[in-house]
Structure 1
Amino acid sequence: MLVKLQQIIVKPGQQMLLKDISWQQLENILEELEERSATRISYSNGWLEIMVPLPEHEKDKELIGDLVKILLDKLQIDFEPFGSTTLKNEQMQQAVEPDTSFYIQNQAAVIGKNRLDLTVDPPPDLAIEIDISSRTRFENYKILEVPELWRYTQQGLEIYLLQDGKYIQSQSSPNFPNIPIVKLVNEYVQQCLTIGRSQTIRNFRNWMQETL
């Protein structure tokens, strides 16, 4: 008996692993999952993982993404935000959905695009993963050659830079030189827990006004 994807329920904070999934099956599944905005996938050589984040995962994702956008605007750096758009490359048999992603150096290459195909498009300059209720797939990002990956866990922000085919942890971001990104993200995510998002964003804008 064939089970359809819409019959499968994955609860928030849980993952489902499927094997022997062809690229065409992956494309069909991605099409079906378009209506389930909360799901995240990672795919590597026939193995497909489908994840549903917890609510706190989504709140952290939104706040950190907003901080990045506000900072890029303040620095007058052109960028294109791509959210959790699927990053995929059929030739490499890899696909992954970050929690959010940004084109910065390569923003001109993706203006006007709604879908990405990394066989022809460059990878995003920055991908962000919230590792509260799911695990970051470093291997996917490494093979797809995403140059900078942020991973936020309950212990705080970690920055990884792709160097010689491996991710090396760094305390600074080349996209934001001379800005203490790790300290800022950790501080304002914690603020959000006690004073709420609106006041946190106002405080962040005040910090930029006084510092930058």
Structure 2
Amino acid sequence: MVRLHLQQIQVPPGQQILLVGVNWPDFEAILNELGEHRSSRMSYYQGTLEIMTPLPEHERVKVILGDLLKVLMDELNLNWESLGSTTFKGEKMGAGIEPDDCFYLQNYALMIGKDRIDLSVDPPPDLAIEVDVTSQTNLKIYEALQVPEVWRYEQGKITIYLLQEGKYIESDVSANFNNFPIRESISQFLEMSKTRGTTQTLRAFRQWVREQLKI
């Protein structure tokens, strides 16, 4: 049997590898060996581990989408805590994932100053964001972790998933921002950023939000 060290495995940007038959202790060991300072992302569900490295396109959309959401929350005078791509995992659930971005809104106060997350005592994020450029997010992982809302961006549009009775359903509106046309507006401003750049897009979005609040 050939044995390789994990550091010998190189995943090119935009590519992913699947490891099957990975038990929970092995998953934990892989996380520890690779450490937190890495470019790859991991997701785990019932014995299958995916390791992927994002493309620049993925990272650009992820950053701008997160920035747009922060502008919206700021204009709505909401409190939040963002934990970015923190590893969320639960052995009893047999699942683990590192979202592209995530936010605590209802439970933000519980997360202030938190450096380690334990889902056996801590709540999952109220909102997770995934940008699917080369692979598709396995929503069953988020269902297992009981994340109330997930936004998935793919091919220029956002799909909103809300957790109901343990399963996701597609929704036209966000549970966290039900007075705003999130799918249409965020997609529109993400498209704008390709031609006008990040700074002008964020300024235009902030102005749009303020106009909506006056209606």
TM-score, normalised to structure 2's length? 0.94
Paired position in structure 2 for 1:55:
56
- Give 4+ residue runs of structure 1 displaced > 4 Å after superposition: none
Deviations 1:41-67 (A, max 9, x none): 111122111011111011110011111
Gaps of 5+ in 1: none
SS at 1:70's partner residue? helix
Deviations 1:14-44 (A, max 9, x none): 11111222323222222314221x3111111
Paired position in structure 1 for 2:107:
106
**AA of the residue aligned to 2:124:** P
Paired position in structure 1 for 2:130:
129
How many equivalent pairs are there?
Answer: 211
Q: In the TM superposition, what is the alpha-carbon distance from 1:205 to its structure 2 partner?
A: 1.4
Which residues of 2 match residues 40-119 of structure 1 at below 5 A?
40-119=41-120
Call closer, same or farther: CA 1:72–1:56 in 2, change over 3 Å: same
Gaps of 5+ in 2: none
Query: What RMSD over aligned residues (CA atoms) do the two structures have, in Å?
Result: 1.2
- In the alignment, the residues of structure 1 paired with residue 76 and residue 12 of structure 2 have an alpha-carbon distance, to the nearest angstrom, of 40
**AA of the residue aligned to 2:65:** I
> Percent of aligned pairs with the same residue?
52
Which residues of 2 match residues 139-158 of structure 1 at below 5 A?
139-158=140-159
**AA of the residue aligned to 1:161:** L
- In the alignment, the residues of structure 2 paired with residue 206 and residue 178 of structure 1 have an alpha-carbon distance, to the nearest angstrom, of 16
Counterpart contact for 1:13–1:52, Cα < 8 Å: yes
- In the alignment, the residues of structure 1 paired with residue 64 and residue 100 of structure 2 have an alpha-carbon distance, to the nearest angstrom, of 11
- In the alignment, the residues of structure 2 paired with residue 112 and residue 175 of structure 1 have an alpha-carbon distance, to the nearest angstrom, of 23
Deviations 1:59-117 (A, max 9, x none): 11001111111111111111110111111011212101111000111112222112222
Paired position in structure 2 for 1:35:
37
Counterpart contact for 2:156–2:191, Cα < 8 Å: no
Call closer, same or farther: CA 1:125–1:52 in 2, change over 3 Å: same
Paired position in structure 2 for 1:209:
210
Counterpart contact for 1:33–1:39, Cα < 8 Å: no
- In the alignment, the residues of structure 2 paired with residue 44 and residue 78 of structure 1 have an alpha-carbon distance, to the nearest angstrom, of 32
SS at 1:65's partner residue? helix
**AA of the residue aligned to 1:90:** E
- In the alignment, the residues of structure 1 paired with residue 189 and residue 134 of structure 2 have an alpha-carbon distance, to the nearest angstrom, of 20
Q: In the TM superposition, what is the alpha-carbon distance from 1:152 to its structure 2 partner?
A: 0.3
TM-score, normalised to structure 1's length? 0.95
